[in-house]
Chains A and B, each alone.
Chain A
Amino acid sequence: MSIRDTRRDGLYQEAVSSFGSALGRVAKAYEAEPEKQKDLLQDIHLALWQSLERFEGRCSLRTWVYRIAQNVSASHVVAEKRKNAVRWLSLEEVEGLPQVGDPVGVANRQLALDRLTDLIRSLKPADRQIMLLYLEGMDAESIGEVVGLAPGHVRVQVHRIKTVLSRRFHGGVLHE
């Protein structure tokens, strides 16, 4: 085994131990069916392992891992969309939708989580990526680095996310 392979394997182990759960959450946010979700997660792991051969440390490992996970997942949903005609919404459209039913209290964790997951899955991939990264606790600069947008653009989107979440969930205002 070459030094390059050893380095890649080491980076992969580090990425999985630090961001393994986050990869699972990304797969869940993009695929509802449990079997397909598992397949998607395996594809993410494979793509991540393959990509780490080219990781040169020009960005953080976290940025790299999230990019791979989001890109593989986006490719998955684009492929799925060709089979099932689903219509995704933009954050602006979700913001403009009338409120259906009472907002869910975050005290009811499972219900809040189910509603949140449904909301994320209904979004267009570009908006979905920003919302997911925001929920993962990343700031605008870090999100911008992962998705390739200026922090200013990300802040506008984050503001929309906060508005949508606070309308739909009691006490759902998130930290910056």
Chain B
Amino acid sequence: MSDNLSDIWRSQRLPGITISIAELQQRARRLETRLIRRRNIGVVAGIANLVVMSINDVFFFDPPYRLWWMLTIQFLCCIILFAYWNTPTAGDRGHILTLRAPETSTPCVEFYRNRLLSLRNSLRQGRIVMIVSSAAGAILAWCSTWVSKPGLLPTGILLFVGGIVWYAVIRRSIPPIESELSDLQSLGNASPE
């Protein structure tokens, strides 16, 4: 059977790995810790956002300045949330963090479809955030024409341009995913175990 590709494929000599049960347990604990840390960072960013909004309400009564302060802090909180929630799918080995144990044993086509759907939905949500960000930037830039506050115009322009650029980047990423999903649809529905 030496002329058989399947035999050639299966006869490959690959450096195997041996992971002891103790090491697997340790890795699982580390993974759990990383997940909890991510969740906590999200909660802290959310609380920080609320605190800043409250301070803003109590101490700043000048409307344009209040708007600038609120939007800047909210923008920073969004960056923190995005960095920590998006890194697992974009960073090295981070994808393992987003895998939930029950879903890993689902049939492959269904699993792959779910991963693509979740990626597409997160991109769509990101697109909405970018629209809001550029709209906020435009409002800030417009406010700067009748209120003289340092940093108001550059912040507005930064938010507006940044939002537009990221919106364009995200928009380009969605059609290939849609096309992949449509290919999967044509393959037929996945059946449960």
Contacts and interface: CB of A to CB of B under 8 A. Distances in A.
A150 B191 contact: yes
Given A67-B107, A112-B5, A149-B187, A51 B116 contact: no
B108 A75 contact: no
B4 A148 contact: no
Interface string B2-35: 1111101110101111010100100110010000
B5 A39 contact: no
Q: Is the interface of A mostly helix, strand, loop or mixed?
A: helix
B15 to A, nearest CB: 8
Interface stretch (B51-59, B77-85, B93-101): B93-101
Contacts of A25: 9-10, 12, 14
B115 interface: yes
Given A24-B14, A71-B99, A107-B2, 7 more contacts: A28-B12, A46-B31, A50-B104, A71-B112, A74-B115, A75-B96, A124-B183
Given A28-B12, A76-B95, A116-B9, A68 B104 contact: yes
Contacts, number: 181
A137 B106 contact: no
B127 to A, nearest CB: 15
A78 interface: yes
B60 interface: no
A153 B14 contact: no
Contact of A79 (B12, B14, B89, B193): B89
Given A28-B14, A79-B90, A135 B187 contact: no
Interface string A117-157: 00000001110010000111100000001111110010000
A110 B104 CA distance: 33
A45 B17 contact: yes
Chain B residues touching A, range: 35 or more
Given A25-B10, A51-B101, A148-B108, A46 B95 contact: no
A49 to B, nearest CB: 5
Chain A residues touching B, range: 35 or more
Contacts of A41: 17
A67 B101 contact: no
A67 B115 contact: no
A112 B10 contact: no
A148 B191 contact: yes
B28 to A, nearest CB: 6
Contact of B105 (A28, A39, A67): A67
A38 B17 contact: yes
Contacts of B5: 106, 112, 116, 135, 165, 169, 172, 174
Residue from B16, B95, B119, B173 with most neighbouring chain A CB atoms (10 Å) = B95
A113 B12 CA distance: 9
B63 interface: no
B45 interface: no
Given A43-B93, A58-B193, A136 B104 contact: no
5 contacts: A21-B12, A78-B89, A106-B2, A148-B192, A172-B5
A75 B19 contact: no
Contacts of B112: 71, 74, 78, 125-126
A71 B103 CA distance: 9
Given A125-B112, A148-B107, A106 B3 contact: yes
